[in-house]
Structure 1
Amino acid sequence: MECREKKQDEKFCHECGEIIRAKAEICPKCGCRQHDVRPIRTNGLDSVFSGAPEKSRTTAAALALLLGGFGAHKFYLGKPLHGILYAVFVLTFIPAFFGLVEGIHYITMSDDEFSSRLSNGTLNQFFGKK
């Protein structure tokens, strides 16, 4: 059995443990589908070629902290219904409180955690599985 170290652009298969490319959706050895496929940041051009712009954690945090009461961060993150709800209830100051909490939450997480949670829809879940 060949023994080699995993490189930065590689990961282990969830099923068989084989070292595979990080962008691989299916393990070439066992055929198991990989569920945590995330784009590798190489030169910042990944979003240009994928067709969808990559969302910045810092921009989302700044929008949540400064304009969170209006739901600006929700529109930026592609959740327009949430943004509309924030805008409708802006006079109650409840969205401003949630925007502040979400802004702090975005600041405290890593870029990798932010992009993975954004892609699987669990970005604003504070409790439960990460």
Structure 2
Amino acid sequence: MSNNIKYCSECGREISSNAVVCPNCGVQLKPLQAAGSGRNRFVAAILAFLLGGFGIQWFYLGKTMYGVLSILFCWTFIPSIIAFIHFIMLLISSDEAFNAKYNNW
């Protein structure tokens, strides 16, 4: 497989890696982010486990309102329970699902 070929996310056909629009179906292609850019699900999982009672993982993931609500209600320990569940969900989710939700890929 050559490095200058990718697949269209809409129709699945092979296209040039430099293509901005699929020549087969005409869909606008999303640009690939460089490796190492964006948010990392393991960092988010560690933050959820260690500091999730204060909602730090939400700030890291760009969900500021959830973070603020976690800080406001941290005295109830409800954010800690939610953070532990979020920690487990982050660990079992796939990279593709995480990127689609938090990195807008």
State the TM bucket, normalised to the shorter chain: 0.7 to 0.9
Amino acid at match of 1:29: N
* Greater RCO structure (CA 8 Å; 6+ sep): 2
Percent identity of paired positions between Structure 1 and Structure 2: 36
Greater helix percent: which structure?
2
* Residues 74, 80 of structure 1: 8 Å contact kept: yes
Q: Could you list the runs of 5+ residues in structure 1 that have no partner in the other structure? A: 48-53, 121-130
Shift of 1:110: 2.1
Map 1:61-72 → 2, pairs under 5 A:
61-72=45-56
Q: How many pairs does the alignment contain? A: 104
Q: Could you list the runs of 5+ residues in structure 2 that have no partner in the other structure? A: none
Selected match of 1:118 from 94, 102, 105: 102
TM-score calculated relative to the size of structure 1 = 0.65
TM-score calculated relative to the size of structure 2 = 0.78
Q: Does 2:28 align with 1:33?
A: yes
- Regions of 4+ moved over 4 Å: 5-9, 21-25
Give SS of 1:114's match: helix
Map 1:1-130 → 2, pairs under 5 A:
10-12=6-8, 14-15=10-11, 17-21=12-16, 24-34=19-29, 37=30, 39=32, 42=35, 44=36, 47=37, 54-120=38-104
